[in-house]
Each structure stands twice: as C-alpha cells, then as structure tokens.
Structure 1
C-alpha cells in the first residue's frame, strides 16, 4: 500500500510539473511596442498585428495581410526624428498567459514604395531611424519556435519641432563612431577604451575649441591594430582630423583624413605605446561650424 501511495504521489507531481511547464510556455501572441522617447513622445507606442501564425492553449491565431505597405499606411501615424534612437518592447498578452519565450528571433525593416531597408538591432532591441525624411512602414517580425507574429507601424520621419533647417539632429540622435582592437584571438574585435564627447553642437562659436581630456589608457600590445569607424554617421562629417599627443599631452602630429574614407587604422608599435590620440569630427556649412565632436583614447 505504501508503495502504491508513493507511486501515486510521484505521478501527481509529474502531472503538476507538466501543467506548470505547459502554462509557462504555451503563451499567446505578444503585444509589440515602439519606444521612441525624445522628450515629447515618452509613452510606448503600440504596433499593429499583421500576418500572424500562432498556436497556444487559447487556440490558433491565423491572420493574413496581402499588402503590408497598404495596411501599414492605414494605421495611425507615428512621427519620429531623423536618426532618432528607438527600441522595441514586447509584453505578454494578458488574455493568453505569460511572457515566457525561449529565444525569439526579432527583425525589423522599413518599407517605402516597395523597397525594404533592414534595420540593425542590438542585443537590447535598440536601433536608429535613418536620416532621410519621409513616410515609411515599419515591419517587425517576432519568431518563437514554430510561432510567428508580424507587426507594422506607420512612421513619418521629419525634423523635430524646434530643429531649424540646416541644423544637425540632436547630438544624442547621431550615431557614434566605433573603435575596436584587432589583435589576439581572445581580444579580436573588442571595443577599445575611449571617450566620445560633444565639443559644440548647433551653437558653435569661433572660440569653441578642443581641450585635451584626461582619458583612461586602453590595453594594447605591439602588433595590435586600433580601428576607428565612423561610416554610420549621418550626415557624414565635413572634415576628420587625427591628432597625436605625447605622454605630456603635447600635440606631436595632425593628419587630415580623406573625406571619402570612413575608417582609420593605427598599427601599434613601441613608439606608439603611451601616446594619446584624438579623432576630431567637424560638420560645416561653408565656413560656418555646425558641430564638433571628439573621440579620444590612449595606448597603454
């Protein structure tokens, strides 16, 4: 009798655990939101479900949209700024259960006149809208195992109120340059220690000068390469200057980079160890300076 009771208890435990797993993982279509906080639009903006193929304990959801551009243009307009930083968020569908997803694949694109532009999402589902103004359809795809959900948004990219024609987008909206170290297999392609800062922006004056900052030294060895890439900056800088300083902070060289290039590589040797470098990015309208930013790093 005792063995029978133990067996029954084990079976009940298995059934309870199975039920818990089924409840946790058998979830409905998530809700998708666009987070584009520019000080004016701080609330999450819901995206509209389009093509859906989803199965859960609440049943199957099958929706088909033949033309997502036409469908997207029928939705309420969301206005964002050029180069505006944005992110995607997904919430549990309260009618269908929790938000337990294994490892969903999430992609995003912009559509305009039948042409697709893929957006690059980072691990936090953050991205930037392009610099070019216009009306676009945002397409987001969420794939979790056999379940697929597509969402759309009607997006208008235009200058934010108060941004005058001929000015740069907000500094925080501009894409930053990247700096990586190429060396040993363990550190190949890792981000190198640096600072990136605004010198002046949209209100530059003739005395808006650059001061050599005190930066933390990054670890580098002879034979490493330091690669700086500003190819994703929009608009492109009008002028790029590479400055080199000795250990006392005195400038020892200045090099004007070609405007048709978007990268510079510094090969580390014995003479460069202990030196500090600064890449100056300048945006100009004729003789007028619109913006100035600086990427600074030091080789240890």
Structure 2
C-alpha cells in the first residue's frame, strides 16, 4: 500500500511539473481594446510609441514623432456620448505601474479618469477626438491611439 501511494504521488508530481513547464508567456506589448459593457461593441486601438523589453531582454522600439497626426490617419471608431468604456489587454504578462487615458480635441487635452476596473466614460459633447492611452509597466512603455467619433 505504501509503495502504491509513492508511485501515485510521483506520477501526480511529474504531471503537475509538466503543466508548469508548458506555460507560454507573451513578452510583446499587449493589444488594447475598447469594450463597452453596455453593448457588444469592441474596438482595437493602434500601437504608437513603444519601448518594451521582450523575451531574452530584447528591446522592441517604435517611434512616432507626431502622435496626434498618426492617430488622425487611423480608421475612425464611433461611440455614443457618455458611453462607458473598459480598457482591455489581450495579455497581461507584466505588472502595470501606471495607466493613463486622455482625449484630444482641437489641440486641447482632456484627461479621462480611470477607475479600478480600468474603465472611463466618454464625454457628452459630440465630435471627433483623438484618444491616447499610455501604459507604463515593468516591461516598458507602450502608447496606443484611436481616432474617435462621438455621435
């Protein structure tokens, strides 16, 4: 009986160890999606400036000099006035140190306060905006943009 218990325990430990070894981590900057909890609408933001340490400490960099012009060139994403939005990452194999979101309209920046669930609310004022999301993580910095139409 004792020998059987050792064999079963050994098999269980080997199976458990194999599961840990097979885990796959994503070391690239995450994709960011805007998702509305009130509807099935979700829209992906575009990567802008990136300085991210990836697998084997390889640095991934992307530099956009004029972020607002770059964002304005992107496909327009349409949302409703006052619509609540969740910021979702496709992976989170990093620790978020800071996360900020802001809207730009006619050269003026309006910060969007994020709650603990990483949600914010679009303004009631209709119009075209540029959304800039900045992620500061233990793996580096990533910036995302969206061309937003609120109507």
Query: Is TM > 0.5 for Structure 1 vs Structure 2?
Result: yes
The answer to whether residue 38 in structure 2 is matched with residue 45 in structure 1 is no
Distance 2:110 2:88 in 1: 20
Q: Which residue of 2 aligns with 1:195?
A: none
Distance 2:70 2:95 in 1: 30
Question: 1:52 offset after TM fit, Å?
Answer: 0.5
Distance 1:43 1:130 in 2: 17
Deviation readout 1:195-249 (Å, 9 max, x if unpaired): xxxxxxxxxxxxxxxxxxxxxxxxxxxxxxxxxxxxxxxxxxxxxxxxxxxxxxx
Question: 1:103 offset after TM fit, Å?
Answer: 3.4
Distance 1:36 1:153 in 2: 15
- 3-state SS of the aligned residue for 2:71? helix
Specify the structure having the higher radius of gyration (Cα).
1
Question: 1:146 offset after TM fit, Å?
Answer: 5.1
Q: Which residue of 1 aligns with 2:96?
A: 103
Question: 1:61 offset after TM fit, Å?
Answer: 1.5
Question: 1:38 offset after TM fit, Å?
Answer: 4.8
Question: 1:69 offset after TM fit, Å?
Answer: 1.3
Task: Calculate the aligned-residue CA RMSD, in Å.
Answer: 2.1
| Count of aligned pairs between the two proteins | 129
The answer as to whether partners of 2:48 and 2:63 remain within 8 angstroms in 1 is: yes
Distance 2:30 2:99 in 1: 12
TM-score, structure 2 length as denominator? Answer: 0.77
Distance 1:33 1:111, change over 3 A: same
The answer as to whether partners of 1:36 and 1:80 remain within 8 angstroms in 2 is: no
- 3-state SS of the aligned residue for 2:115? coil
- 3-state SS of the aligned residue for 1:104? strand
Aligned pairs (5 A) from 1:2-13: none
Distance 2:52 2:80 in 1: 34
The answer as to whether partners of 2:96 and 2:135 remain within 8 angstroms in 1 is: no
The answer as to whether partners of 2:50 and 2:143 remain within 8 angstroms in 1 is: yes
Q: Runs of 5+ in structure 1 lacking a partner? A: 1-19, 93-98, 159-300
